Copies of this chain bind each other. A is one copy, B any other.
Amino acid sequence: MDFLFSTAFKVRDYECDLQGIVNNSVYLNYFEHTRHEFLKHIGFDFARLHKEQIDPVVYRAELDYKLPLKSGDEFLSTINIEPKGHLKLIFDQKIFRKKDGKLMMQGLITAVILKNGKPIRPTLFTERF
């Protein structure tokens, strides 16, 4: 459990579906919020970036669902980052349940940074971490 940045969450009941577990799509919400909190942590604001026509977008996601989060679960969402080639950033994201430290979910999210719709080198971000 070695990471660059983390955010604490608690499952909200509306995130659970009729199986009584957090719906599979919601983990991408958790991951996104964690990435945006990390951006804020290193001095960037996602909404402001958008106004400056700089848009980080998800290019690929590999998600491994280990154990389902349920109503009431608290968890830690962690991030590590590695550049890939000149244009991509890979966010290695994990979710650990608080009560027992179990790994619930793991994702590799590849992002590219678009400026006016064209990919740019992510150096404005990478030089901050």
Contact = CB atoms under 8 A, between A and B. Distances in A.
Contacts of A68: 57
* Residue from A17, A20, A46 with most neighbouring chain B CB atoms (10 Å): A17
Contacts of A12: 29, 32-33, 36
How many copies of the chain does the oligomer comprise? 4
Contacts of A58: 24, 63, 65
Interface of A: 12-14, 16-21, 23-26, 28-29, 32-33, 36, 40, 45-47, 50, 55, 57-65, 68, 70-72
B18 A17 contact: yes
Contacts of A23: 14, 32
B13 A18 contact: yes
A47 B16 contact: yes
Contact of A14 (B17, B59, B60, B63): B17
Contacts of A59: 64-65
B24 A61 contact: yes
Contacts of A20: 18, 47
A18 B50 CA distance: 8
Given A25-B26, A60-B63, A65-B60, A47 B17 contact: no
A21 to B, nearest CB: 8
